[in-house]
Structure 1
Amino acid sequence: MITAGPTYEPIDPVRFIGNHSTGKMGFALARCFAEQGAEVQLISGPTSLKLDHPLVQVTNVMTADQMFEACQKYAEQSDIWVFSAAVADYRPKEIAGSKIKKNEDTFTIELVKNVDIAATLGKQKRPDQFTVGFALETDDELANARLKLAKKNLNMVVLNSLKDPGAGFKHDTNKITIVKPETVEVYDLKNKEEVAQDIVASIKSEMACV
């Protein structure tokens, strides 16, 4: 089970809260797993990407709640969970039924926290299931990745830093560090298809040791 892309949290019928995720990393991972014979449930937020592979089933969602619902559907039957989606942390408390007009000089939106999908599912993860989280950081990158590893009951975290040129959102390349409970693996800047191969190889290597 792989999550990919952003989530869009509606403000009114024409506006939303979102982020710059393109879904490229998640789609590259889905393709890589499928090419190695895995059956993949790809749960994707809004993206222009398409993936046509007989071993990949795509579920399209928009909001964090919809992504969580889809993850709940497929989590139990999946051996590996990869949370590569950039899920919005917050959503508007109220969604306007019609377009909000530009009448005031200032405008305030009250936000409420979305469900933390990886952390919530991590509480019910079986010992035989392997889970991977992603962390996009700007400060204290390694410390924050290690905190996420423990807090969300993950087996490994793929760390990106926005300080690295060519990494993160809107790029065809990525530079990652894979953080595990006992080890840290640092990789060079690569095309995201190659990055996906490195991630899958690291997962397979770790699972072989279990």
Structure 2
Amino acid sequence: DVAIMVAAVADWRADNQSGQKIKKKGAAPAPLKLTENPDILAGLAQSDQRPALLIGFAAETEKVAEHAQAKLKRKACDWIVANDVSGDVMGGADNSVHIITHSGNEMWERLPKPEVARRLVAKISEEFA
């Protein structure tokens, strides 16, 4: 019924892998060519097995609501839970989030992270009531 896609493990990965240690060849590090990892959220949104409610997350450092609104459309999901990670959120005890849906933006001011989780589960439950 619901998929909550909390975070990407990594948006990018090394383009090629070496079967052995890459040796130093001077003072500068070896160039690293990157390639995108598959977009699991966008793929699930297009899947025949798409859940009724598909929720993604967005960690932003600026224009949080604006970037999350664009991500909602780009990923074709139902909600984006967006937070500003430019401060002490990573590793901190509290968080402020925007719940971005096709019908609007709901802001939850700074709360303990377990309370954010409880409110999110309650909001999801309301969708199916």
TM-score norm. by structure 2 comes to 0.87
Q: Which residue of 2 aligns with 1:118?
A: 41
Distance, in Å, in 2 between the alignment partners of 1:125 and 1:80 is 14
Max Rg structure: 2
Residue of structure 2 equivalent to 1:93: 15
CA-to-partner distance for each residue in 1:62-85, whole Å, 9 max, x for gaps? xxxxxxxxxxxxxxxxx1100112
Partner of 2:104: 183
CA deviations 1:118-158 (Å, max 9, x no partner) are: 00111125676111000011122212111111121211110
Q: 1:162 aligns with which of 85, 99, 106?
A: 85
Sequence identity percentage: 32
- Structure 2: which 5+ runs fail to align? none
Number of aligned pairs?
128
Partners of 2:65 and 2:105 within 8 A in 1: no
Change (3 A) 1:207 1:145: farther
Distance in 2, matches of 1:128 and 1:118, equals 11
Q: How far, CA to CA, are the matches of 1:128 and 1:91 in structure 2?
A: 28
Structure 1 unaligned regions, length at least 5? 1-78
Displacement of 1:170 after TM fit? 1.8
Corresponding residue to 2:71 among 148, 162, 165: 148
The one-letter code of the counterpart of 1:91 is R
- Alignment of 1:102 with 2:24, yes or no, is yes
Contact 1:132/1:158 (8 A) holds in 2: yes
Indicate the RMSD between aligned Cα atoms, in angstroms: 1.9
| Higher strand fraction (1 or 2) | 2
The one-letter amino acid of 1:116's match is D
Query: Whole-Å Cα distance in 1 between the matches of residues 15 and 50 of structure 2?
Result: 36
How big is each residue's C-alpha offset from its partner over 1:145-199, in whole Å with a ceiling of 9 and x where there is no partner? 1111112121111010124x442x2223221111111121111222211110011
AA partner of residue 103 (structure 1): K
Distance change >3 Å, CA 179–CA 102, structure 1 → 2? same
Residue-by-residue CA offset, 1:47-101 (whole Å, 9 max, x unaligned): xxxxxxxxxxxxxxxxxxxxxxxxxxxxxxxx11001123311111111222323
Residue 57 of structure 2 is matched in structure 1 by: 134
Pair 1:99–1:173, CA change in 2 (3 A): farther
Contact kept in structure 2, 1:157 and 1:179, CA below 8 Å? yes
1:206 is aligned to 2:106: no
